[in-house]
């Protein structure tokens, strides 16, 4: 997920650290602290570059199975349960479908909770050719989504080419 940076304010903190207060659409305000200045945010040379904070994709967010743990197909024949087909609403297949729907709803809720947790973000600068280049920072950038429940961008997942 990518969040557009809308504002950056620079100040100096204790022990010669440089502090950048960063605002981005959909994220809570955050603070980036570095020992070395981030050249792209220099006050002496304002830039018209587009910046985004990106949440790197984590496969575990979707709770997908780890296929390396599955057995060889020849060993697991007969281990699969095929419920009997029946038009009755009380049939085992009907309850199995309801259980699967309930499981999907629970997974969706767990995903929303995890998306609302703080995460390590990358700061990227858009280049002239449309690609993105990671902006170096000597500390982790920790960001958090402002309001997971109302953020429609969470469902608009895209990939970004990083140089």
Ordered DSSP codes for 19-47: EEEEEETTB--EEEEESS--GGG-SSS--
Domain ranges for the chain: 2-59+116-155
Does the CA dihedral 105-107-111-117 come out positive or negative? Answer: positive
Whether the model clears a pTM of 0.85, i.e. scores above it, the answer is no
- Spell out the per-residue pLDDT of the chain, length 163, in tens: 888 898 888 888 777 788 889 999 889 999 888 887 776 666 655 567 788 899 887 777 767 666 665 555 555 555 555 555 555 555 566 677 777 778 888 888 888 888 888 999 999 988 888 888 888 777 889 999 888 766 555 555 566 666 5
Tokens of 145: 């989504």
CB neighbours of 146 closer than 8 A, spacing ≥ 6?
26, 27, 28
What integer pLDDT is reported at residue 118 of this predicted model?
A: 92
What integer pLDDT is reported at residue 23 of this predicted model?
A: 92
Q: State the pairing for strand pair 18-24/30-34.
A: antiparallel
């Amino acid at each position: 997920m990518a969040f557009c940076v809308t504002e950056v304010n620079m100040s100096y903190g204790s022990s010669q650290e440089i502090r950048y207060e960063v605002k981005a659409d959909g994220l809570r305000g955050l603070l980036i602290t570095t020992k070395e200045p981030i050249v792209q945010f220099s006050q002496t040379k304002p830039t018209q570059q587009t910046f985004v904070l990106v949440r790197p994709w984590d496969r575990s967010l979707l709770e997908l199975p780890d296929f390396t743990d599955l057995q060889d197909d020849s060993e697991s024949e007969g281990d699969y349960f095929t419920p009997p087909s029946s038009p009755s609403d009380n049939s085992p297949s009907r309850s199995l479908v309801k259980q699967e729907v309930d499981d999907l709803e629970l997974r969706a809720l767990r995903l929303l909770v995890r998306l609302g947790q703080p995460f390590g973000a990358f700061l990227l600068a858009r280049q002239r050719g449309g690609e993105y280049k990671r902006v170096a920072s000597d500390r982790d950038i920790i960001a958090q989504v402002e309001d997971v429940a109302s953020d429609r961008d969470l469902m608009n997942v895209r990939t970004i080419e990083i140089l």
